[in-house]
């Protein structure tokens, strides 16, 4: 496969994986928590490296999963003991992230990871960092990592679909009928954590938030069915990735930055034009109500 094709495949996998998980973040109004987790997993990555002395995917995923859960847990603890939830997120987010940055700078010589890379990602290098097993070149390792995480997420969503759905729509009813709402919450947060780590290399901690939130927020405006929302969101992720790649080629700009920008552009257009929830539709509806009344 060509260099460009690998980049587009990687970007699309980021788009699909983030887009699907992102829908649940939108529905549960948890964009802020996702933002926090996408940064604190940096600490997980550094700790995983310091413990395992390896940058292999599996250690990164476990480290990020643990720190992601820790983030969600600490936010929950602070919140239930009376701290406002956005303040709780702010405190946990900045403390754990700062600790990650400190560790990273203290062990900078030993860790083959720099803050800039972790924050911004570098999708242009992805095709050269390949996975070889028994002398066989299996393509970029990021593709394998993203593919595995996508598969894990899909399996979890498939297995717990109705539990995730009811605990997102009506958590009180869900726990009344015995669904472990907190388990589902942490399950989703684990999915966010591993999704973030897998996307890190390509788009970095800052843009991964865009890929998590924007496609889901756009899909929310376009459909009234959960399953359709998941599909649209994934599709927007792919369009943003491919469109972003070509835009970056044409204007010679950052690939990941242009991916996130395209996602933002799709959102803006949808927000204005969506037939159901868009700005135009609302204005027209308001006008017809006014017309009816007069």
User: Between 144 and 160, whose beta carbon lies closer to another protein?
Assistant: 160
Which two tokens mark 44? 């997980």
CA distances from 240 to 14, 231, 255, 258 (A): 10, 14, 11, 8
User: Between 26 and 191, whose beta carbon lies closer to another protein?
Assistant: 26
Torsion 47-203-214-145 (CA) sign: negative
Please state the closest distance from residue 211 (CB atom) to another protein, in A: 20
Please state the closest distance from residue 229 (CB atom) to another protein, in A: 5
Please state the closest distance from residue 47 (CB atom) to another protein, in A: 33
- Contact assessment for residue 262 and residue 292, using Cβ atoms and an 8 Å cutoff: no
Residues forming contacts to another protein in the complex (CB under 8 A) are: 27, 82, 159, 161-163, 165-166, 168-170, 172-179, 220, 223-226, 228-229
User: Between 162 and 287, whose beta carbon lies closer to another protein?
Assistant: 162
- Contact assessment for residue 207 and residue 132, using Cβ atoms and an 8 Å cutoff: no
Please state the closest distance from residue 174 (CB atom) to another protein, in A: 8
| DSSP code for 53 | S
User: Between 7 and 174, whose beta carbon lies closer to another protein?
Assistant: 174
Please state the closest distance from residue 219 (CB atom) to another protein, in A: 9
Can you tell me the distance from the alpha carbon of 71 to that of 80, in angstroms, rounded to the nearest whole number? Answer: 14
User: Between 115 and 235, whose beta carbon lies closer to another protein?
Assistant: 235
Please state the closest distance from residue 257 (CB atom) to another protein, in A: 30
- Centre a 10 Å sphere on the Cβ of residue 148 and count the other Cβ atoms it contains: 15
Residue whose C-alpha is closest to residue 198's, from 217, 178, 212, 218: 212
Please state the closest distance from residue 286 (CB atom) to another protein, in A: 16
User: Between 79 and 117, whose beta carbon lies closer to another protein?
Assistant: 79
User: Between 91 and 166, whose beta carbon lies closer to another protein?
Assistant: 166
Can you tell me the distance from the alpha carbon of 281 to that of 294, in angstroms, rounded to the nearest whole number? Answer: 20
DSSP H stretches of helix in the chain? 3-27, 31-52, 57-80, 85-106, 115-120, 141-159, 161-169, 171-176, 181-222, 226-251, 255-273, 279-293
């Amino acid at each position: 496969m060509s260099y460009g094709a690998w980049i587009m495949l990687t970007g699309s996998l980021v788009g699909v994986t983030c887009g699907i998980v992102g829908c649940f973040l939108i529905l549960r109004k948890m964009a802020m928590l996702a933002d926090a987790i996408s940064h604190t997993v940096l600490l997980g990555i550094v700790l995983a490296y310091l413990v395992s002395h390896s940058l292999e995917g599996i250690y990164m995923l476990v480290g990020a999963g643990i720190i992601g859960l820790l983030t969600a847990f600490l936010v929950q603890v602070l919140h239930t003991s009376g701290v406002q939830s956005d303040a709780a997120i702010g405190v946990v987010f900045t403390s754990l992230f700062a600790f990650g940055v400190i560790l990273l700078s203290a062990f900078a010589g030993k860790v083959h990871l720099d803050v800039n890379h972790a924050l911004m990602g570098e999708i242009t290098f992805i095709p050269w960092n390949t996975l070889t097993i028994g002398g066989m070149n299996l393509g970029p390792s990021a593709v394998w990592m993203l593919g595995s995480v996508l598969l894990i997420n899909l399996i979890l969503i498939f297995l717990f679909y109705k539990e995730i759905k009811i605990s997102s729509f009506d958590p009180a009813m869900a726990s009344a009928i015995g669904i472990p709402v907190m388990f589902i919450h942490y399950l989703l947060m684990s999915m966010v954590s591993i999704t973030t780590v897998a996307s890190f290399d390509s788009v970095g901690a800052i843009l991964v938030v865009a890929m998590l939130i924007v496609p889901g927020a756009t899909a929310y405006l376009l459909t009234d069915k959960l399953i359709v929302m998941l599909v649209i969101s994934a599709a927007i992720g792919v369009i943003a990735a491919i469109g972003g790649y070509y835009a970056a080629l044409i204007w010679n700009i950052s690939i990941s930055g242009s991916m996130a920008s395209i996602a933002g552009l799709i959102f803006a257009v949808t927000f204005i034009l969506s037939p159901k929830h868009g700005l135009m539709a609302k204005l027209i509806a308001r006008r017809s109500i006014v017309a009816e009344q007069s």
